[in-house]
Structures are given as structure tokens and as C-alpha cells.
Amino acid sequence: MSSITANTKTPESKCDVLIVGAGPAGLMLATWMARCGINARIVDKRGTKIYAGQADGLQIRSLEIFDSFGFCDRAWKEANHMIEMCMWNPDSDGVIRRSDRVPDVPIGMSRFQQIVLHQGRIERFFLDHIKKHSKNSIQVERGVLPESLSVDEKLMGDHSTSSYPIKVKIRHLTEEEAIPAQSNGSSVSDGLFRSNLAEDDTDDLIRKGQSKAGTDEILKAKYMVGCDGAHSWTRRQLGFELHGEPTDFIWGVLDIIPITDFPDIRMRCAVHSAENGSLMVIPRENKLVRLYIQLKEIKPDASGRADRSQIKPDNIIKAAQKIIAPYNLTYEYCDWWTAYQIGQRVGTNFDYNSRVFLAGDAVHTHSPKAGQGMNVSMQDAYNLGWKLSLVVKGLAKPEILKTYQSERRRIAQDLIDFDHKFSRLFSGRPAIDVLDEAGVSMAEFKQAFVKGNMFASGLSVDYGASMLVAKAGDATEQGDGTDVSSTSKSRIIGTQDLAANIKMGMRFPSFKVLNQADARPWHLQEKLRSDGRFRIVLFAGNVLAAPQKERLDVFCEKMVASAFVQPRLYKDIAVLTVHSAKRTEVELLRDFPDVLHPFDERTGWDYNSVYVDDESYHEGHGQAYEGYGVDKEHGCVVVTRPDQYVGFVGPLDGGEGWTGVESYFEGIFV
Amino acid sequence: MSSITANTKTPESKCDVLIVGAGPAGLMLATWMARCGINARIVDKRGTKIYAGQADGLQIRSLEIFDSFGFCDRAWKEANHMIEMCMWNPDSDGVIRRSDRVPDVPIGMSRFQQIVLHQGRIERFFLDHIKKHSKNSIQVERGVLPESLSVDEKLMGDHSTSSYPIKVKIRHLTEEEAIPAQSNGSSVSDGLFRSNLAEDDTDDLIRKGQSKAGTDEILKAKYMVGCDGAHSWTRRQLGFELHGEPTDFIWGVLDIIPITDFPDIRMRCAVHSAENGSLMVIPRENKLVRLYIQLKEIKPDASGRADRSQIKPDNIIKAAQKIIAPYNLTYEYCDWWTAYQIGQRVGTNFDYNSRVFLAGDAVHTHSPKAGQGMNVSMQDAYNLGWKLSLVVKGLAKPEILKTYQSERRRIAQDLIDFDHKFSRLFSGRPAIDVLDEAGVSMAEFKQAFVKGNMFASGLSVDYGASMLVAKAGDATEQGDGTDVSSTSKSRIIGTQDLAANIKMGMRFPSFKVLNQADARPWHLQEKLRSDGRFRIVLFAGNVLAAPQKERLDVFCEKMVASAFVQPRLYKDIAVLTVHSAKRTEVELLRDFPDVLHPFDERTGWDYNSVYVDDESYHEGHGQAYEGYGVDKEHGCVVVTRPDQYVGFVGPLDGGEGWTGVESYFEGIFV
């Protein structure tokens, strides 16, 4: 890192969190900042947001996250929905035929399925949401480039609210400087300038910028997050590296409206030709289809990188035509195109002393075909944002920030392993017969795809033990090696058996329940909003049985009496109840302690916190207790983190149960 | 009607359709104009849209209509959903108790249920939609008052595109003139100035406006629609009347956030007290609840109208407290309040020579408790808009305009009968026992409610025979008496038995089907967009059976060869196919004639017109053929009007079936 010497005229300002990069990861982080009321700034070196191309697939977990903020409906409505995956392979004559159909995503895991929509629209949803929730105080500052970074080592350990150890000099670019040159003069957008086949242009931009005067600013920040892509400037300042190697596989990408007699053009398809490489079909919104096309004739040169100038839409479509023959494939309209070289790399560090963090492509790059890049990047930021907000506000212990690297670097490693395997299966030549060991067996490919589906959905993420996840086992082994053991005197371990399908470390699954007060069905996960709060979810069981009612009452009395938890109720810790008695035999005010539906002098009782696992009039019976694996008589208590991941499971009682909840929070809150 | 003499300076302009009044009916009409690209203007005497109070209930059919335009999701997301209706009645001690729970709407009739959201938001959805689809060319002109109307009798019969028989002088009010005085100085909005207890202020506004200079405009129009409310200025100019009588029942309305221990405050409730009158609870969005409260102590005076000055929130809440005792009920926050006198009135005419039309409150007024007013008003305009658009464009015969009065006046008469009965049951004293014949029997009330539910949902609307509905029976008897018999040489009568549950005259019901090309499930009704087009819905049956494939091919050949129908295909008449073979055994391009999925040189084949009744991966099996009552082998053909009402049902063959379709369209198109 360089030290910053500003002349006396350079204006200085302060913010709590500086976000560098306004792609999906940066915008997700800014969304948390807006929702939690944090004084944040977000800068991006590009002068405009993107309007075509780039990432497109939205995995199930990303949609659940969007829904927790409240804008999933916009994506769901506009996107193309991918329902089925078709596999095409050479038959004994070497002619491609459909060999299999499988559901595109696992069945029964979520109310969402995979959808496809271009990244520009997704960024729009984020921008609108940030604007609304920050009341316009957080706006992406475009055409703004960080030039130098220094971190004051003396202040680094001081997480008090007056300490600003990070100093970044930023430069406001002119409009002309901030718009990258397309690689050709065509009217069709291409993404080569962002591709991993291109050199980074940040240094160029800095050099160009320095020839201008008077547009610098010194920004002091408490925390900083580099969401600045595969060429991350932030990562380079910190001296961190990406480890991994490129392969020889070069792929082209076309976003076109295809004119074709290929029957499955509106399905997701994996097409392995006998001799001409592979192709993937991703049907998009507005009749668009994205084709990923293996470019077998283009090879990396001695430097290990392919020559960009060889790659044009014309030779990409020709490669596709060879693969998809005997079907015809042409187009009149091309929306965007690019190319990339397959490789998997993961960052050595995600975190510099809990002060500067890296997220998204800055710490993991891989091939795009499994639709993981944007999703995992957003999920990095989703993991970090609430932790940072709680620490900035002085509510949570700074130690929780270490769980970011522990949790997300582990995921990145898993992702890289997944992609490594999946890409090779995909780029390899199909096996001719069982004796052809150099070829890829299509049975193996299908098996890998179906297994990979669960990983790709984002639903299999399972964070290791830490002060945020009260599960058994070695915290270091379960994460990326970072020490994230509990900070409190004695480590708490929850009782997983009480909620067999609400796994500590995994996201809280969803079943339908009814609001006790108005009988409206909701997916319970819809009630775990991303508002920065932890949640105590009380599975109250059969509240009409006197002993169970007694247990519930005792638990609630402990909650109200707790000097540590009670002052944080509703503000930092919400309470949600789901009981299993018959809805019509139970009354909210009569059968549930006040703390579960608090009274407000101006607006009366709260009617949106108590739910029931019962039959609805129009949407069936959610069978939530059964789905969650919770005993219908005795229930249990679950604590969710602000990101819907499960932190603790315990018995619903005033002993072990309440103590567990209290100790869990004592390990986190200041 | 007065004749208009303009001085030479008065500016003149022309439009095809002039809409007076920008409430829900006027906005629905403007929405059609925007969707169909009609040159329309919409004026409203008020200076601003409403921000609180007024109507709130959205019935199932209104939501289906919103969905057909594409904005139902906004209402569905923001609104409160009403799921259950609870009935409270005096027990033998005279104390109220819950006697019954019933689903708020009929089960299984639609993918929607009744929701509640204030009128201002609903108007916002319309305004946004009109803006988007008219590309900003249709904007509500507020603070604009019509002053005089004349219709040139000589031009009236000439529906050619150059004829503008209507001349309206309009005046642009100043901002001050256009904002009505609230009835009190409070910061709480009240609606008394719009209530039927208030005199109309249009004449006042005209008088005030005339004292100013230079803001008049002469507007010439081909057609005009008065959506200008119960005091309709347009209706008065035409000399048409509302027939009916007020009752002695006076009701108050409060939109409050209640503070209460009444257990069902988030349910729709009908509360009949023993001696103190009745109350209805309508839970709303944002913790609001609307209470309709019978004001037994306020009586109309000798003029038949109650004294407005007696009515204040204080005495309305006191009346409510008496009814709901022994439960407590108070509030800190009141959003809006008003009062009204129950009465039922229906217009003598909805239509002046197919040139000037009346819609909404201008032709029917009744009590608001069944949540019908806004819904039936919007549905009036929804019925009229597409007919007017087709005639303005010179596509359809002007005779179809007569079906507006025939269809909608009949509905208004049914509504008034329903409301008359329902209001009396609601305002009456509960019977003490079976011998108490003066009292209202609660069994009778419940029965009326459950039966009325189907009517109130809007789904039981069944338009009579006409050139637009090819059903048997007497066209005059089935409507309001207007002659709307077929205009073509020979009247066509469809074969209802072929689709037992797709009733001619009723709205096309909805079941889930899958897109053949991408396996995505859709409610079939979602594919009947309100885009101004009729639709030929081909239930293609089992296309894998050779004889059935042959029937389908012959039908399609006839369609392509038809000199009358073919030129209108896709532009004015869309084609939608639903087959019953197994999805995975059928291919779009191989098994379906081109006309069912037309080719475009720039964008290839159409992949959004052929559907299949088959099992989905994530949303079950729609069992659409079974639901529709259509034979799975042989199918049938159905024609829907642009408003989703069923016009014709016939066999899928080149004989009777195709001839029926062709004749149906010959009766409508020019």
C-alpha cells in the first residue's frame, strides 16, 4: 500500500464504509448499508451501468435473498424461467440426439426456481431499492477511481465509532475517461473489454486521470470493501493474490435471437458434439438465447492467453453451427457477445485485519456456464453486509467480522472445485464407448450435473461453527482455517435434533404457515426479512395443552426478564412464533404472552408475529412442523441470523433453551 | 343539451374519445385507449388525485382484469388479503359472540382472492400503466370541467373516421377552484364532500370558473364517456335519470388503526348487535381497518336526506363502541372518514345513440359494504373500452356498441337487487328467536352472504346472446332489453357441450398449462392479455392420434385459406393452442401447423402460443381439459373476446367448427 500525501487543496471527507465497485456484489453491499442506515459510499470506475450482456442466471438462493429485501417479484416477472435441462449427445453415428431431460433445479427445495435475466436489470432493482431505503443518501458515484490506499496500523484495532483508519485518494474521472472502448466499431455491444482475455485498464485510467487537475478527494473510512472484479485494484493494494491456473479451453458467448429448427432452443441444453466441441443453450427473456460455444480452433499462445483479435461473432456462430448440425442455426439480431478462457482461481485472503474486505470476482473467478459468478458474488456481500453494519453501529463485537472470510472463502474453494470438475466434463470430448477412457462419459456428465444442481442452487451452503453458528465440531476445520471460535466464556452448542431440517449453518427453509390473526398463508421465510435483525423463531407447539403453554410462558418470562436480551427485542432481535394448535381454537391475545405480539400505544397490538401450521382455504396445508422436523406437541426455539442462516436450535424451555438463546446473543452483541 | 357558441378566440381541438372523470371507471377506459393506441383525452374536475379513503375492495374479477393488463402484481403485493369472514351475533343474553366463519370468497374459482387497498393506490397503478402504454400521450387533465355539450344529430349515424359529432366546451380551472373544501378544518381527510349526503358542486365550479377569462377550449370528439360519478354532469346533459329510492339507513365509515381486544379485528366481520345496529370490519393495509358503522340515532329529515353536520368521527366511533361491546375499541390514528345513506339507483340509459356512454356511479349507486362500487364501475369501462377502440379504428361494426348497455345495464340491475337484499339483511335488527319475524334471521343472513359471495366476486357475470356471444336464447331477454341480435345474415349458435365449463357469455376460467417449448407453467388466462385482440383458443386434443392431427390440420388450412379471417390473424385475432398429448412426445415445429406458431424473419418461430395440459415439475398438474370440460381426444375450438368473455364454442373441424368461427367474426368485423 502506498502512503497518501495530499496537497492542502484536496478536499477530505469521511464515511463509515467505502465500497469500491458497483457490480452485483458492490450493490448488494450497498443494499445492506441502505437497509441498516449506514453512512456508506459506493464508487465505480465505469461511467455508466451496463445495458446488455454480462451475467444472467439467478439461482434459487439469490432469489430468496432478493425476496428478503422485497424485490424478487420484479426479477421473477421479467425473467425467463428455466424449467428443464436437456442433454444432447452423439449417437452411434455421431449425430447429436437428445439423450436426457432433467429438471433444471432440485424439486421441492424452494418456492423459487432458476431464472435468467440480464445483469443490467438486476442492477436496476438494486439501485431502486438502495435509493428508496437510503432516502437517496447512497448513490453510486460513477466514473470515480481509487488512486491510492493507506491503512493506519495504529488505529486498526480500535473499532470505536470515532476511528477512521482507512484513507483512500479517489479521482473523479471525466465522462470520456470513464467509458471503456468497445473492442470493435460495431453497434453490437461486446464484453471483451471486461473478459478475462483482456488486460485490466485501471492503471491506464489512473494515468489518464492524473493528467487532469483538481478532481481528487481524500476519503477516510472505517471499513472498505473491494468489489472491484477479477482485476481488483483493492486486492492489489493489499498485496493479496488469486491462486489457480487457466486452462486451454476458450469459449465464446453470443446473446442472439436464434433462427433455428433445433427443437430445444427454449430449454437449457448441454450439447456435446462428437468432434466439434460443446455448446450450452441458455434461453433468455425477450426471445433472446445465450449460447456458450466452445472455440476448439482457438488456442492460447505462449503467454498462456488467447489472442482476442481472432474472436468475432462470425467465427463464434460458425463454431456453434458445427456443433449443433444437422440442425440449422442463424440469427439476424445479436444483442451482445464476448469470449473467455476457462480457469479457476481463488483469493488467498478475503479480509485485511477486519478492515478491508474483498468480495465477488475479486476473490474467485471461474467459468460462467454454471451461472455461479454473479450469484456467489452477491452472496459474499450478503454475508458481509449485516455483520459490518452491526459492528459500525457498535452493536456487535468486531470479532464477528472474521466469520466473513471463514464462511465465504470456504464456499469459494468449494465453488472452484465444482467448476473445475464441471468445466472439464463440459469441455471434454464425449466418450465413444465404455472403453474410451480419454472421453467424457455421458452418464458421468449427467450424474455430475444432477449432483451439481444442489450446489449450484446455493441451497447447500453450510457455514461452519463460529460465534454465529452454535453447532458442534471444529470451527477452524469447518471454515477456511480462520479462527472464529466463540468469543463468550463458554461455547454454546445447539440441539440439532429438535429441528431436524432446520440445520444450524444452513439457510432457514420455507414452508407455508397462516397468520393467526387473519388466516393469510405466507411462506415462513417471507417473514425473515433482511432488515438487519436476528430472529428468535418460537415453534410454540400445541399451545392448547396446559404443560406446553406453561413452557411457553416460562420461556417468554425469561425473555422479558433478561437484562441482556430484553433491551434488544424488536430493535435488534425480532420474535416470530409458529404454533401447531388449530387456528380456530386459539386466540392471539388470549393464548400468547404479550412479548410475542407487542402493544404500541398508537397502533395497538402487533398482528404480524404469530403464525400457525394449519390448513388454508386456498393454498393447501403447509405441514410446516413436519417439513421442519419439529415435534408438534413440544416445539423448539430457533435463532436465525440477519441473513436467514440458522445460528442456534434449542428446546423451548426456561432452562437449557433460554440459556442457550441468551448465551448465543452474549457471544455476538457488545 | 345546450348548443355551444364559442367566440372566435376559443381554441378548438379534436380527439376520438373524450372521457369525463378520472376515477376508477374513467381510468380503466383510458387504459384501454392507451393499450389500443386510440387518440383519447381524459379530464377530471378535481385538481388532484385522491390520497386516502374512498373505495378499497378489489374483487376477484377486477384482479383478473388487472392481471390481463399486467399490473395485478402491484395490487396483490401492497394490499391486505381478506381470507375469512366472521359473523358475530347476540347470544341468548344479548352479548355478541362469533357464530360462524366462512371463506371470504368462493374456493377454487380463481387464482386470486379478494384484497383491500385504498383507491388512491389503484388509481396510481392505472396512471402508471396509461403513461407507459400511451407513451405519455394520454394524461389525466385535472382541474378541467366540461361546461356544455352538443351532439350533431346529422353526423350521429356516420361512424366513418372523419366524423366528429360531439362538441364539448371545457374550462381549465385554477388550482384553487379545483380543490374541494373539506367539511371540517381537521387534518384528517374526510369524504363527506363526495358522499351521497352532499350536494354536487359541479354547478358551483362552473359558475366560479365562468368569472375567469380565457381558459376555455372547444373539444370535438367522435365518442364520449361520462365516468363522472353519481352526480354525473354528462348524464344530466343527456337528460337521463337514475331510478330508485334512498332508505332511512345512515352509515358512518372510519378508516382507523384500531386499538381493541376484539379478537377478529384482522378478519372481515359482520357484527349484528342486539339493539345498537350493525358494524362491518374490513381489515386494510398498513394496520388500518375500515369500519362501516350503522348510525341508528341519525335519521333523514323531511327532505329524505340526513343532516351532515350531525356526523363527526366522535359520534361514529361511539356508535361502534356500543355495537362491539363488551369489547373495547378506540383509536389514536384516523386516516379518513365519511358517511352515507343507503339507497339503490340504476340509470335509465347507459348509451346515447352509441355516441355518448355512461359508466360507473353515473349509472348505478348503492351501498358500499359489499365492495362492489369500484369493481362494477371498472368492469363497465372494461366492457366498453375495447368495443369503442375497435369501432374507432374502423375495424368492427358500430352495432357492437349497443352490447355495452345490453350487457352492463343488466349487471347493474342485478347489482341493485343484490344490494337491496343484502343491505336490508345487514341493517336490520337480528331476530330474537324463530318467532321474531320482524328481525333478521342469522341463518338467512349467512345463506345470503355465501350466495352473494359468488355474485360479489364478479365471476358469475353471464352476458346474454348477441353478435358477440353466440349462445342460444332471446338476445333481448338475456340483456337489458336492448336489441343486440346478430348483424350477420344467419345467426351463429355455438355448441356449449363441447366445453362444459367454458360458458359462452362468461369469462374464460383458468387452469394451469405448460408452454410446449420450455415447460414453464402458466395460468391459461394469463395468456389472454388485454391487448385488444380476439382469440381463437384451439383445444387441439391428442395431436399424436392421426385422425385428430388430421382434423387439426384441416382446421388450420381453413384458417389460412379464409379471405376474411387470415388477414386479421395475429393483428386483431390471436391464436392460442392447448393440446393434451404428453409434452415430451410432441415437438412444436414437427407436430403443429405453422399458423399456430408463426415464423418471423428477424425473430424466428413464435414459442409462446402452444401449450400442453401436462404435469409440471414444481407446480403440479393443472388438469386443464378436465377443468374446462373438454374432451381430451377431440378437443374443441373456443373464441374469446378481447375482454376474456367467451364468444363461441364449436367443434375443432373444417366444417361446422371453422364455419362457426368465421361466421362469428363476420358478424363483428367490418
Residue identified by cell 402452444 is: B610
- Let me know the angle formed at the C-alpha of B296 by B294 and B297, rounded to the nearest 5 degrees: 135
A106 touches chain B (CB under 8 A): no
pLDDT at residue B6 above 60?
no
Give B119→chain A minimum CA distance, Å. 22
Asked if the structure places residue B277 within a domain, the reply is: no
* Per-residue confidence (pLDDT) for residue A187, from 0 to 100: 67
Handedness of CA A126, A130, A132, A136 (dihedral sign): negative
* Per-residue confidence (pLDDT) for residue A215, from 0 to 100: 81
Instruction: Give the chain B residue whose CA is nearest to the CA of A516.
Output: B266
Domain count, chain B: 1
Q: Report the pLDDT averaged over residues B286-297.
A: 93
pLDDT at residue A212 above 90?
no
Average pLDDT over all residues of chain A = 91
B107 touches chain A (CB under 8 A): yes
Q: Which residues of B touch A519 (CB under 8 A)?
A: 83-84, 267
For A151, which DSSP code? E
The CATH number given to whatever domain includes residue B639 is 3.40.30.20
Give A198→chain B minimum CA distance, Å. 32
**A424 vs B614: which has the higher pLDDT:** B614
Give B603→chain A minimum CA distance, Å. 6
Asked if the structure places residue A75 within a domain, the reply is: no
* Per-residue confidence (pLDDT) for residue A379, from 0 to 100: 98
A591 touches chain B (CB under 8 A): no
Q: Tell me the one-letter amino acid at A368.
A: P
Give B514→chain A minimum CA distance, Å. 10
CB-nearest partner of A77 from B73, B107, B601: B73
A269 touches chain B (CB under 8 A): no
* Per-residue confidence (pLDDT) for residue B369, from 0 to 100: 72
Asked if the structure places residue A173 within a domain, the reply is: no
Q: Tell me the one-letter amino acid at B70.
A: G
Average pLDDT over all residues of chain B = 91
A84 touches chain B (CB under 8 A): yes
Are A342 and A294 a contacting pair, CB within 8 Å?
no
Yes or no, beta carbons of B617 and A590 under 8 Å apart: no
pLDDT at residue B20 above 80?
yes
A261 touches chain B (CB under 8 A): yes
Range among A57-66, A151-160, B197-206 with highest mean pLDDT value: A57-66
Rounded to 5 degrees, φ, ψ at A252 are -105, 160
* Per-residue confidence (pLDDT) for residue A213, from 0 to 100: 44
A303 touches chain B (CB under 8 A): no
CB-nearest partner of A587 from B263, B603, B607: B263
pLDDT at residue B184 above 60?
no
pLDDT at residue A181 above 50?
yes
CA distances from B280 to A225, B57, B368 (A): 55, 13, 11
The residues of A carrying an active-site annotation are 56, 284, 292, 368
Yes or no, beta carbons of B617 and A107 under 8 Å apart: yes
Q: Give the whole-number percent of chain A exceeding pLDDT 70.
A: 93
Give A618→chain B minimum CA distance, Å. 6
pLDDT at residue B120 above 60?
yes
Active-site residue, selected from the candidate residues B284, B355, B408, B535: B284
> How do residues A135-152 score in pLDDT, each as one tens digit?
989 999 999 999 999 999
Q: Which residues of A touch B267 (CB under 8 A)?
A: 517-519
Instruction: Give the domain extent around A607.
Output: 492-666
> How do residues B446-497 score in pLDDT, each as one tens digit?
888 878 888 899 999 999 999 999 999 998 899 988 888 766 567 899 999 9
Tell me how far apart the alpha carbons of residues A240 and A353 are, in angstroms, rounded to a whole number. 13
- Let me know the angle formed at the C-alpha of B16 by B10 and B20, rounded to the nearest 5 degrees: 70
**B294 vs A190: which has the higher pLDDT:** B294
> How do residues B301-341 score in pLDDT, each as one tens digit?
877 777 778 889 999 999 999 999 999 999 999 999 999 88
For B79, which DSSP code? S
Tell me how far apart the alpha carbons of residues B311 and B338 are, in angstroms, rounded to a whole number. 8
CB pairs under 8 A between A and B: 108
Yes or no, beta carbons of B263 and A602 under 8 Å apart: no
Q: For residue A405, give the H/E element and its range.
A: helix A402-427
Are B465 and B471 a contacting pair, CB within 8 Å?
yes
Is B568 an annotated catalytic residue? no
Which residues 201-230 of chain A have a CB within 8 Å of chain B? none
B588 touches chain A (CB under 8 A): yes
Tell me how far apart the alpha carbons of residues A479 and A483 are, in angstroms, rounded to a whole number. 9
Confidence bin at A222 (pLDDT 50/70/90): very high
**B20 vs A428: which has the higher pLDDT:** B20
Q: Give the whole-number percent of chain B exceeding pLDDT 70.
A: 93
Q: Which residues of A touch B333 (CB under 8 A)?
A: 602-603
Rounded to 5 degrees, φ, ψ at A356 are -120, 130
Tell me how far apart the alpha carbons of residues B593 and A378 are, in angstroms, rounded to a whole number. 45
B505 touches chain A (CB under 8 A): no
Tell me how far apart the alpha carbons of residues B317 and B338 are, in angstroms, rounded to a whole number. 12
* Per-residue confidence (pLDDT) for residue A10, from 0 to 100: 83
Active-site residue, selected from the candidate residues B368, B398, B509, B651: B368
* Per-residue confidence (pLDDT) for residue B367, from 0 to 100: 79
Asked if the structure places residue A84 within a domain, the reply is: no
For the residues of B372-395, what is the DSSP string, one character each?
-HHHHHHHHHHHHHHHHHHHHTT-
pLDDT at residue B273 above 80?
yes
> How do residues B191-218 score in pLDDT, each as one tens digit?
776 777 666 667 766 666 555 544 889 9
Q: Report the pLDDT averaged over residues B256-265.
A: 97
Yes or no, beta carbons of A617 and B84 under 8 Å apart: yes
* Per-residue confidence (pLDDT) for residue A64, from 0 to 100: 98
Structure-block grid coordinates of residue B495? 355448441
Asked if the structure places residue B18 within a domain, the reply is: no
Is B368 an annotated catalytic residue? yes
Residue of A63, A518, A591 to mutate when probing chain B, most B C-beta within 10 A? A518
Range with the poorest average pLDDT among A57-61, A243-247, A336-340, B374-378: A243-247
pLDDT at residue A214 above 60?
no
The residue among A282, A278, A275 whose CA lies nearest residue A258 is: A282
Yes or no, beta carbons of A84 and B590 under 8 Å apart: no
> How do residues B380-399 score in pLDDT, each as one tens digit?
999 999 999 999 999 999 99
CB-nearest partner of B103 from A84, A263, A617: A617
Give A496→chain B minimum CA distance, Å. 29
pLDDT at residue B652 above 60?
yes
Confidence bin at B180 (pLDDT 50/70/90): low
Tell me how far apart the alpha carbons of residues A406 and A480 are, in angstroms, rounded to a whole number. 5
Yes or no, beta carbons of B515 and A266 under 8 Å apart: yes
Helices (H), A79-158: 119-133
Are A461 and A506 a contacting pair, CB within 8 Å?
yes
B415 touches chain A (CB under 8 A): no
Give B488→chain A minimum CA distance, Å. 40
* Per-residue confidence (pLDDT) for residue B395, from 0 to 100: 97
Yes or no, beta carbons of A518 and B266 under 8 Å apart: yes
B263 touches chain A (CB under 8 A): yes
Q: Which residues of A touch B103 (CB under 8 A)?
A: 617-618
B526 touches chain A (CB under 8 A): no
A433 touches chain B (CB under 8 A): no
Q: Which residues of B touch A113 (CB under 8 A)?
A: 618
Asked if the structure places residue B662 within a domain, the reply is: yes
CA distances from A481 to A39, A465, A470 (A): 32, 12, 17
Yes or no, beta carbons of A518 and B589 under 8 Å apart: no
Yes or no, beta carbons of B618 and A113 under 8 Å apart: yes
Burial class (CB in 10 A: 0-12, 13-18, 19+), B516: buried
Burial class (CB in 10 A: 0-12, 13-18, 19+), A102: middle
Give A414→chain B minimum CA distance, Å. 28
